[in-house]
Structure 1
Amino acid sequence: MSTLQFWLSFNNGAEKIRLPVNPPEIRVVSGYNWTDINLSQFGEFTVPSGHPLTEISFSSFFPRDYNASYCEYPEIPKPTEFTDKLSKWKESKKPIRLIVLGFGGRSSGLNYAMTIRNFTFEERAGSPGDIYYTLEMREYRFIKLAQVGPAVSKQTGVKTVIKADSKSSRPNEKTLPKTYTVKSGDTLTKIVQRLRTQGVKGLTVEKLYQANKSVIGKNKNLIKVGQKLTIP
């Protein structure tokens, strides 16, 4: 076993994968974008124009059976469990997180939000049950744009445009719940409060009731344990 640990996670860590066999190499492509400017009388100049998205790729395999000589941990899942999960993450078109502990001899290692751009896998003759794969990813950047509006001076009446906040932030990557199963002691008010803390915005008791009127019935105060409510 090596000191490196390759982890992939999805939905704010709700789903995780640790690679059972570390890739023999990892390719990281990062740098700067450059813009060439031609100024009359002075000639051509090159200036940096931003940092491009980092690209990371590697290849390895998911073994059918545990082998202490190359497996990083003994309780390895079936190879199809890895391929099914990675395929599902790719099709979701949502970012995942890549963490490589110990990369470059640093305790922090690598830690990137990524999008899966390409995931290919195959079974080869001579090693039945093992699945060989290549994973290509590109960095995902979280950007939050603030609303832009005019500011009016009380003294002069002149409008001034307020610039948007271009500062990057990291929003919640977690998928919001789509249904809720009623538990003992629940009321629609308690359910709405609980869902709001989980990130469901704009939800009211009336909206929740109207979306589930056929399940709850005419009296919104009589909900039953086990009822499955749709979250509008």
Structure 2
Amino acid sequence: MSTLQFWLSFNNNAEWFQFPVNPPEIRVESGYNWTNINLTQSGEYTVPSGHPLTKISFSSFFPRDYNSSYCEYDVIPKPTEFTDKISRWKETKRPVRFKVLGFGGRSTGLNYAMCITKFDFWEQAGSPGDIYFTLEMQEYRFITLRPVEAAVSKTTGVKTVIKAASKPIRPNEKEIPTTYTVKSGDTLTKIAQRMRTQGHKDIDAHKLYAANKKVIGKNMNLIKPGQVLTIPK
């Protein structure tokens, strides 16, 4: 196991995973846009005109079986679980959160909101069951139109100057979940408490059970890992 950890999450960490095999290299494209300005008496100047979107790409594979020589952890889901999840996230056209802990020897590493622009995966001879992939992402920037107000002239009383609100509002990445997959140690009470923190203000264990009685069975206290519960509105 290495000191680097590659993580990808979606919907404000409602879903997440660590890549089981670190890529041999990662490409990060960043920099500045530059604009040339010609001043009649002073000549031509080059000034920065904004930061372009950072692009990140890498290739690796999802192994069928654990191998201590290259796997970062030992309990590895099926390769198709990774590819299905990334493909689904890509189709939502919503941002994902990409983190590389320990990148460049820094404790903060890399941490970007990204759009998945390309995700190719395939199997190849000699590695039955393993799925190889290439992932390309581009930085996602949150844009919010801020309210504006007009300044009133003390002399004329006419609104002449437009001012933007001083504090930008960052939009929430999180969407309210509609399902939940039961994990080891969960109870309906714990799940209901978690759902209340994610936007379901009126949910409780009994409402959760009523909406999922066919899945859970007659005993509301016997839920099993892997069961997918519907979260009632």
In the superposition, the TM-score normalised over structure 2's length comes to: 0.74
Distance in 2 between the 1:133 and 1:118 partners? 10
Q: CA deviation at 1:151?
A: 3.8
- Among the aligned pairs, what percent are the same residue? 71
Moved more, 141-150 or 111-120: 141-150
Q: 1:173 to 1:156 in 2, by over 3 A?
A: same
Aligned residue in 2 for 1:147: 147
Q: What CA distance in whole angstroms lies between the structure 2 residues aligned with 1:53 and 1:76?
A: 33
Which residue number corresponds to residue 27 of structure 1?
A: 27
CA contact (8 A) 1:21 1:62 kept: yes
What are the within-5 Å matches in structure 2 for residues 172-191 of structure 1?
Answer: 172-177=172-177
The structure with more radius of gyration: 1
Residue 45 of structure 1: CA displacement? 2.0
Contact 1:144-1:167 within 8 A present in 2 as well: no
The residue identity in structure 2 corresponding to 1:25 is E
* Residue segments in structure 2 that go unaligned for 5+ positions in a row: 180-194, 202-206, 212-229
Partner of 1:159: 159
Residue of structure 1 in register with 2:98 after alignment = 98
Contact preservation (8 Å) 1:145, 1:164: no
Cα distance in 2, alignment partners of residues 42 and 149 from structure 1: 37
Go from structure 1 to structure 2 and tell me whether the alpha carbon gap of 1:56 and 1:196 turns closer, same or farther (over 3 Å shift): closer
Give, in angstroms, the shift of residue 169 of structure 1.
4.7
Using the alignment, how far apart are the partners of 1:114 and 1:93 within structure 2? Answer: 10
- 2: CA distance, partners of 1:117 / 1:63: 23
CA distance in 1, matches of 2:18, 2:56: 17
Shift of 1:143: 2.5
| Map of 1:226 onto structure 2 | 210
Q: Per the alignment, do residues 156 and 230 of structure 1 end up closer, same or farther by CA in structure 2, a change over 3 Å counting?
A: farther
Separation (CA, whole Å) in 2 of partners of 1:198 and 1:124: 44
Q: CA deviation at 1:38?
A: 2.6
Gaps (5+ residues) in structure 1? 180-193, 201-222
1:148 CA displacement: 1.6
Counterpart position of 1:108: 108
Partner of 2:223: none
Retained in 2: the 8 A contact 1:116–1:135? yes
Partner of 1:198: 199
Q: Which residue of 1 aligns with 2:188?
A: none
Deviation at 1:128, TM superposition (A): 1.1
The residue number in structure 1 matching 2:226 is: none
Secondary structure in 1 matching 2:164: coil
Q: In the alignment, does 2:7 pair up with 1:10?
A: no
Distance 1:102 1:18 in 2: 14
1:150 CA drift (Å)? 2.4
Q: 1:58 to 1:46 in 2, by over 3 A?
A: same
SS in 2 for 1:176: coil
Describe the shift of the 1:230–1:25 C-alpha distance in structure 2 as closer, same or farther (beyond 3 A): same
Distance in 2 (CA, whole Å) between partners of 1:74 and 1:60 is 17
In structure 1, what residue type is equivalent to 2:107? S
Q: Check conservation: 2:146, 2:169, Cα contact below 8 A.
A: no
C-alpha distance in 2, partners of 1:172/1:88? Answer: 20
Name the structure 1 match of 2:84: 84
